[in-house]
Amino acid sequence: MSASGRPVYLFCHVPKCAGTTVKNHVEDSAPERAARAKRRHGFLRDFGGDFTDLERSNIDPERVDFVGGHSLSGSVASVFPDRPARPCVLIRDPLSFVISFYNHRNRGAARAGRGPVPLELYIKSLPKNPICRFLMTRYLGTGYPKILKYDSRQRFAAVDTMLADFWFVGSWRHATEFLTRLSAELDIPDHVKVRNAASGAVLKPSDVPEDLATRIRTINAVDQALFDRWSEAKWSGEPRTLEIDLPAGDQAAYIGNEISRQLMNRYIKMTRRSL
């Protein structure tokens, strides 16, 4: 099939949402047809907002059918002017996302000979609504300080509108179903091998006390609302209709969080060294 008119799949790899399984499946099955969005470096990335360095990514518009990565921006579609772009994303509920990231960070610290930190301490090092923030800064290219002008309702609206144009949006638990369909579209093997999954003695969402679990969901109310609305949409383009009541005018809370979490990350690094 000629490149003109052939769909290109743009996979926005949100951390801890089964993205490694997706990316590696396509790269292993059809390496010549897969590309990774390389991260743009320098302060202009954060202020300008575009995370993808198109020159370094070296994407061949005639050969490539799948582009993925943590640094995928919507601007990648411009590389394929004569081809329909099909953006895709897997998302996750705040509680299991936070716990998965917590386990991931502790495994990395253990490999470096450093100890774990308490969950309540780790939570303070995270941005508010990290999945919404990720999608705004990476795919939508909303840089600093512009993103700090958005309150919770505006953040939800920006990402909700974005997802309405995606080919696939669904829960991370639908990764195998998504890959089976994607494999058929790309005419590659559909045997899925799960990658980067936690094993051994790890904290589970069910281990978290209910009061702390409720606090995690409350802090990340935008991410919870996006998950509740879009997790089962998949290819339908039809999210759930929900009554969503999010804070307005809470920009100061986001600014305070960005400052405090930087300090907390430094504190956690020092704490791990002593454990």
Give Cα 272 to chain centroid, integer Å. Answer: 26
Task: Specify the CATH architecture of the domain 8-273.
Answer: 3-Layer(aba) Sandwich (3.40)
For 75-189, strand residue ranges (E) read 85-91, 168-171
What's the rounded Cα separation, in Å, for the pair 135 and 72?
9
Q: Listing from the earlier edge strand, what are the strands of the sheet with 8-12?
A: 34-36, 66-69, 8-12, 85-91, 168-171
What's the rounded Cα separation, in Å, for the pair 263 and 185?
46
Write down the pTM of the prediction: 0.94
- Kindly give the confidence (pLDDT) of every residue in the chain, 275 residues in length, as a single tens digit, with 9 standing for 90 and above: 568 899 999 999 999 999 999 999 999 999 999 999 999 998 878 887 789 999 999 999 999 999 999 999 999 999 999 999 999 999 999 999 999 999 999 999 998 888 899 999 999 999 999 999 999 999 999 998 999 999 999 999 999 999 999 999 999 999 999 999 999 999 999 888 776 565 556 899 999 999 999 999 999 999 999 999 999 999 999 999 999 999 999 999 999 999 999 999 999 999 988 76
